[in-house]
DNA sequence: AATGAATGAGAGTTCATTCAT
DNA sequence: GATGAATGAACTCTCATTCAT
């Protein structure tokens, strides 16, 4: 049940990149945290940038998979689900999400493109949901593109401050954010039947396997 | 009217720290961008960290000054004003705000404390405004602390994507965000009389002098 | 039989610190003299100061070990032995002794304390020997503390000028200094039976292994 | 009565070179201690090395002048005088003598030659005195050259440890060293009539004017 | 007489990475 | 599979010195 060397490296990378940033983390820091020599790191990874990209890719892939796992015909339910998923992911995987959200700019252009396109794929789900809602008349918003960005930025922020030891449970957090989102889109705030508990399970499943 | 050396250094620092991050920016990069030798940099600054802290301090001070310049009895107007100010600042000073928002973690504890306390002072204005609105019954929100964080995160995001060459004018942007904010706080979205134009002037004035 | 890298570094440090002083010796000088890159130096040492401290510690430890290896009941013989040992060490290991004698002041307080305490341990042997001699009535001296300092300073000087190609053999040098010391302490100059040859062997043994 | 700028610079140089060594003292340290800007330093001195050489030259010149001022037909008296003078100088001008004794090796060859030749001139007085004593039969020593070196090294050491707040007065110190010297040269220790008080006056006179 | 501004060179140290073992 | 050894390049920062004002 002990972690494999590869997993230890990824865990170390996530923690350190999240805490000190990519440029603030040295190869020796990684090696020490992963309990191997710095030379041995290079058996398991390409360059330091490759390690970062791998971590990002895997995290985004999981988020995307989770989001795709969401069903629901009603756009309000789908949006509430996306928000809950996103918020819960950021609340329970703060290190991973910090890396994904904050370190894109250090990637070289080629690598960055691949990561960003994954992110775009994910954001497309939000875009579609919002469009569907507007088309169906359940959302009112004059600037859906901007609102989508505002929603995502708002939800991303959770990674920076949420603490399970704080006053809010994960359920309360997710529910509150879902309400905020619906309000932002001009819908009655409680008009969604998405079971937040369901989002927790999805997040939990997707992140069960050690990265 | 040409920039002084000190100003060139600050401009260079803001641009480079914003683009490549603090750790991603070398002292030689700064020197080159400021068109002096790297040794000369040290005539005008202490350490690289001092330079970062100076920039952050000045930016936050200006934001705080602008926010304090806002008047308005009605909490809805005050909130709309804060949002407009924040969003316009992030839209028109993207480099400065990126540095302030993203590089706090590289500061050493002592320096960080001073910067964070400035930020706290600023956020207190938001907290008070929201409280006032709830007390006055014009806002409805069960989690005002969380909502304040959500609001700020949402507005911070603007720095990452807004482009004056995009479809939205600054006025439209600010107005839209003010509406979103009011919606989030359970108020009728158009129920504010804050003149966005006024916020533009404040921002413009505060940032007129070269940093 | 070739020197290891670690030994080459120590030899280089001793030679250069002795010739040009600690501050006068650059890390690149050390690297060049040790025939490795300056980055590689840091595989084998901590900081430049650590390297200096290591060298000093080892040299003092050897001197101390040699001095403790001296026997002799008669204080005159013991003093003659200490003088011979000290002088021969300074004559045959001029670089090492110069470093130990001249570079203490560059050490940071913490490190300095450790080095000085080693030196104090060594000087205690001299203090005890002089006290014994006075108590036994074979030495006459009104200021034994000062005289001990004078003796040590006198013997330290040898490192600066002795040359094996000069007119004095090591035996003559050691014998002469032993006589001077006994004269200083008011004893008949030839009244000691310490075999200088014995001191040579001790010194030789202690310094046989490459530092 | 305040010091001139030139004097402040010299005092600063002496103090700092003595405390931290030539290489350990920066031009900015000197400027700060002399209370002028580092650029202004260069109005009063040539290079940093020139400053060191000037200080050394002046110190040695004063020592030489003092030594030449000594009279006395009897070699014992003359030797006692030289020792007293040397020891008192080192006890009362510790910073100056430390610089002169410890920093010769940082001088470039050309400059060093001039300094060393001054030193040689001074040491010649010792050599002659010892020779005279041997020729006159009042000294017995088989290795007068070595003994002269031993004497000087012994006396130089005083600069490192003498404190006016210690148990020895300057008179006691000088008298003790004179005795040690005479013992080393095989003369009866008290067989000298040189008034140590006289040496104090000479030293005092020579160093009255601020360097 | 005095100095702020400026700099090329170099300081000690760490960087990510490679490779022989 | 693992690592000690090695390095060129780069790091932040300080050096002694010059010069226009």
How do the pLDDT tens digits run along chain A, 211 residues long?
689 999 999 999 999 999 999 999 999 999 999 999 999 999 999 999 999 999 999 999 999 999 998 877 899 999 999 999 999 999 999 999 999 999 999 999 999 999 999 999 999 999 999 999 999 999 999 899 999 999 999 999 999 999 999 999 999 999 999 999 999 998 776 667 778 888 999 999 999 998 8
Work out the percent of chain C whose per-residue pLDDT is above 90.
87
Length of chain A: 211
Extract the tokens encoding B8: 């060139």
Q: Which of B43-57, C197-211, D3-17 has the lowest mean pLDDT?
A: C197-211
Buried b (16+ CB within 10 A) or exposed e, C113-130: eebeebbeebeebbeebb
- C164 CB burial (10 A radius; 0-12, 13-18, 19+): exposed
Q: CB neighbours (10 Å) of residue C68?
A: 11
* Residue B189: per-residue pLDDT: 65
Whether residue A128 is found in the same domain as residue A149:
yes
Whether residue A86 is found in the same domain as residue A19:
no
**DSSP three-state, residue D7:** helix
Whether residue B158 is found in the same domain as residue B108:
yes
Whether residue A163 is found in the same domain as residue A196:
yes
In chain C, the N- to C-terminal Cα span, in Å, equals 14
Whether residue A143 is found in the same domain as residue A192:
yes
| pLDDT value at C98 more than 60 | yes
Q: Does B153 sit within 8 Å of A157, measured CB to CB?
A: yes
| pLDDT value at C83 more than 70 | yes
Residues D112, D101: Cα–Cα separation, whole Å: 12
Best of D146, D159, D167 to substitute, by most chain C Cβ atoms within 10 angstroms, is D146
CA of A100 to C1' of F11 (A): 27
Residues C161, A127: Cα–Cα separation, whole Å: 86
Interface C–D counts its CB contacts (< 8 A) at 81
Residues C156, C143: Cα–Cα separation, whole Å: 20
Which residues of chain D neighbour C183 with C-beta distances below 8 Å?
Answer: 183-184, 186
Task: Tell me the mean pLDDT in the region D103-132.
Answer: 96
Residue-number span of the structural domain to which C67 is assigned: 47-206
In a domain, B211, yes or no: no
Whether residue B74 is found in the same domain as residue B25:
no
In a domain, D211, yes or no: no
In a domain, A157, yes or no: yes
CA of C45 to C1' of F3 (A): 18
Whether residue B117 is found in the same domain as residue B142:
yes
Check whether residue C7 has its CB closer than 7 Å to nucleic acid strand F. Answer: no
CA distance C1 to chain D (A): 34
In a domain, C72, yes or no: yes
CATH classification at residue A18: 1.10.10.60
Residues B164, C169: Cα–Cα separation, whole Å: 89
CA of A46 to C1' of E18 (A): 12
Residues B92, B96: Cα–Cα separation, whole Å: 9
Whether residue A156 is found in the same domain as residue A200:
yes
Could you identify the residue whose CA is nearest to the C1' atom of nucleotide E14? C39
Length of chain C: 211
Q: CB neighbours (10 Å) of residue D21?
A: 22
Whether residue A92 is found in the same domain as residue A27:
no
User: Running DSSP on this structure, what letter comes out for residue A208?
Assistant: T
| SS3 per-residue string spanning A24-78 | CCCHHHHHHHHCCCHHHHHHHCCCHHHHHHHHHHHHHHHHHHHHHCCCCCCHHHH
Whether residue C139 is found in the same domain as residue C102:
yes
Asked if B53 and B113 touch (Cβ cutoff 8 Å), the reply is no
The nucleotide minimizing the C1' distance to residue B49's CA is F12
User: Helices (H) and strands (E) in chain C — how many of each?
Assistant: 11, 0
In a domain, D89, yes or no: yes
Asked if C11 and C58 touch (Cβ cutoff 8 Å), the reply is no
Place of tokens 């957090």: A173
* Residue B107: per-residue pLDDT: 96
**DSSP three-state, residue A126:** helix
Closest CA to A12 of A4, A3, A24, A29: A29
Q: What are the angstrom distances between the C-alpha of B13 and each of A78, A104, B48?
A: 43, 20, 9
In a domain, C211, yes or no: no
CATH classification at residue A151: 1.10.357.10
* Residue A191: per-residue pLDDT: 67
Residues B90, A150: Cα–Cα separation, whole Å: 13
Check whether residue D26 has its CB closer than 7 Å to nucleic acid strand F. Answer: yes
Residues D30, D13: Cα–Cα separation, whole Å: 6
> Chain B interface residues facing chain A, Cβ-Cβ under 8 Å?
19-24, 102, 105-106, 142-143, 146-147, 149-154, 156-158, 160-161, 167-168, 172-173, 176-177, 180, 183-184, 186, 189
Residues A200, A93: Cα–Cα separation, whole Å: 12
Indicate the angle between helix axes A109-136 and A144-156, nearest 10 degrees: 120
Asked if B178 and B196 touch (Cβ cutoff 8 Å), the reply is yes
User: Running DSSP on this structure, what letter comes out for residue C209?
Assistant: S
User: pLDDT (tens digit, 9 = 90+) per residue, B121-151?
Assistant: 999 999 999 999 999 999 999 899 999 999 9
Residues C129, C167: Cα–Cα separation, whole Å: 31
Asked if A85 and A202 touch (Cβ cutoff 8 Å), the reply is yes
CA distance B184 to chain A (A): 5
- C161 CB burial (10 A radius; 0-12, 13-18, 19+): middle
User: pLDDT (tens digit, 9 = 90+) per residue, B143-201?
Assistant: 999 999 999 999 999 999 999 999 999 999 999 999 999 999 987 766 677 788 889 99
Work out the percent of chain B whose per-residue pLDDT is above 90.
88
Whether residue C138 is found in the same domain as residue C189:
yes
Nucleotides of strand E under 7 angstroms from a protein beta carbon:
1-20
Phi then psi dihedrals of residue C31, to 5 deg: -60, -45
Q: What are the angstrom distances between the C-alpha of A34 and each of A7, A24, A44, A58, B36?
A: 9, 17, 12, 19, 42
Q: Using CA atoms in the order D203, D205, D210, D211, what is the torsion angle rounded to 10 degrees?
A: -50
Longest CA–CA separation in chain C, Å: 59
Check whether residue B26 has its CB closer than 7 Å to nucleic acid strand F. Answer: yes
User: pLDDT (tens digit, 9 = 90+) per residue, D75-86?
Assistant: 999 999 999 999
Extract the tokens encoding C156: 């330290």
* Residue A72: per-residue pLDDT: 76
Residues C31, C163: Cα–Cα separation, whole Å: 28
Indicate the angle between helix axes A94-102 and A48-68, nearest 10 degrees: 110
Extract the tokens encoding B1: 């009217």
Closest CA to B193 of B24, B44, B73: B73
Q: CB neighbours (10 Å) of residue C169?
A: 10
Closest CA to B149 of A189, A148, A91: A91
Q: What are the residues whose beta carbons fall under 8 Å from the beta carbon of B46, sequence distance 6 or more? A: none
In chain A, the N- to C-terminal Cα span, in Å, equals 14
Asked if C16 and C29 touch (Cβ cutoff 8 Å), the reply is yes
Phi then psi dihedrals of residue C154, to 5 deg: -60, -45
Place of tokens 């590869």: A6
In a domain, C108, yes or no: yes
Q: Using CA atoms in the order B38, B42, B44, B46, what is the torsion angle rounded to 10 degrees?
A: 130
> Chain C interface residues facing chain D, Cβ-Cβ under 8 Å?
19-24, 102, 105-106, 142-143, 146-147, 149-154, 156-158, 160-161, 167-168, 172-173, 176-177, 180, 183-184, 186, 189
* Residue C145: per-residue pLDDT: 95
Q: What are the angstrom distances between the C-alpha of A199 and each of A32, A123, A167, D148?
A: 36, 17, 20, 93
Which residues of chain A neighbour B142 with C-beta distances below 8 Å?
Answer: 176
Query: CB under 8 Å, gap of 24 or more: what pairs does B190-198 form?
Result: B191/B76, B191/B138, B192/B74, B192/B76, B192/B77, B192/B79, B192/B80, B193/B74, B193/B77, B194/B72, B194/B76, B194/B77, B194/B78, B194/B80, B194/B81, B194/B84, B196/B80, B196/B84, B196/B171, B197/B171, B198/B81
* Residue D191: per-residue pLDDT: 66
* Residue D1: per-residue pLDDT: 59
Phi then psi dihedrals of residue A200, to 5 deg: -60, -45
| pLDDT band, very low/low/confident/very high, at B117 (cuts 50, 70, 90) | very high
Which residues of chain A neighbour B106 with C-beta distances below 8 Å?
Answer: 21, 24
User: pLDDT (tens digit, 9 = 90+) per residue, D87-105?
Assistant: 999 999 999 999 999 999 9
Residues C63, C55: Cα–Cα separation, whole Å: 12
CA distance C42 to chain D (A): 22
Could you identify the residue whose CA is nearest to the C1' atom of nucleotide E18? A39
Asked if D38 and D27 touch (Cβ cutoff 8 Å), the reply is yes
User: pLDDT (tens digit, 9 = 90+) per residue, C156-196?
Assistant: 999 999 999 999 999 999 999 999 999 999 877 666 777 88
Asked if B31 and B41 touch (Cβ cutoff 8 Å), the reply is yes
**DSSP three-state, residue C53:** helix
Extract the tokens encoding C200: 């040579």
Q: Which of D106, D156, D176 sits opposite C146 (nearest CB)?
A: D176
User: pLDDT (tens digit, 9 = 90+) per residue, C17-72?
Assistant: 999 999 999 999 999 999 999 999 999 999 999 999 999 999 999 999 999 988 77
* Residue C189: per-residue pLDDT: 64
CA of C28 to C1' of E12 (A): 10
Which residues of chain D neighbour C173 with C-beta distances below 8 Å?
Answer: 146
Residues C177, C89: Cα–Cα separation, whole Å: 13
Best of A26, A102, A143 to substitute, by most chain B Cβ atoms within 10 angstroms, is A143
Which residues of chain D neighbour C22 with C-beta distances below 8 Å?
Answer: 23
Whether residue C115 is found in the same domain as residue C20:
no
DSSP assignment string, D139-164: ---S-HHHHHHHHHHHHHTHHHH--T
Domain count, chain B: 2
| pLDDT value at D164 more than 90 | yes
User: Running DSSP on this structure, what letter comes out for residue B73?
Assistant: S
Task: Tell me the mean pLDDT in the region C106-124.
Answer: 96
Asked if C66 and C137 touch (Cβ cutoff 8 Å), the reply is no
* Residue B190: per-residue pLDDT: 66
Place of tokens 């932002």: A184
The nucleotide minimizing the C1' distance to residue C50's CA is E12
């Amino acid at each position: 049940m002990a972690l494999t060397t590869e997993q230890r490296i990824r865990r170390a990378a996530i923690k350190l990149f999240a805490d000190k940033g990519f440029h603030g983390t040295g190869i020796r820091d990684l090696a020490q945290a992963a309990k191997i020599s710095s030379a041995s790191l290079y058996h398991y990874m390409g360059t330091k940038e490759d390690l970062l990209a791998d971590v990002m890719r895997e995290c985004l892939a999981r988020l995307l998979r989770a989001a795709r796992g969401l069903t629901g015909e009603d756009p309000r339910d789908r949006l509430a689900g996306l928000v809950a998923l996103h918020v819960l992911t950021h609340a329970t995987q703060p290190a991973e999400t910090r890396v994904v959200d904050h370190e894109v700019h250090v990637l070289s252009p080629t690598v960055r493109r691949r990561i960003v396109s994954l992110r775009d794929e994910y954001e497309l789900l939000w875009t579609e949901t919002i469009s569907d809602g507007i088309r169906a008349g359940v959302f009112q918003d004059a600037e859906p593109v901007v609102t989508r960005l505002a929603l995502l930025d708002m939800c991303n922020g959770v990674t920076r401050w949420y603490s399970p030891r704080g006053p809010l449970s994960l359920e309360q957090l997710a529910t509150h954010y879902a309400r905020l989102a619906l309000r932002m889109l001009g819908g009655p705030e409680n008009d969604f039947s998405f079971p937040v508990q369901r989002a927790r399970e999805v997040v939990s499943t997707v992140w069960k396997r050690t990265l």
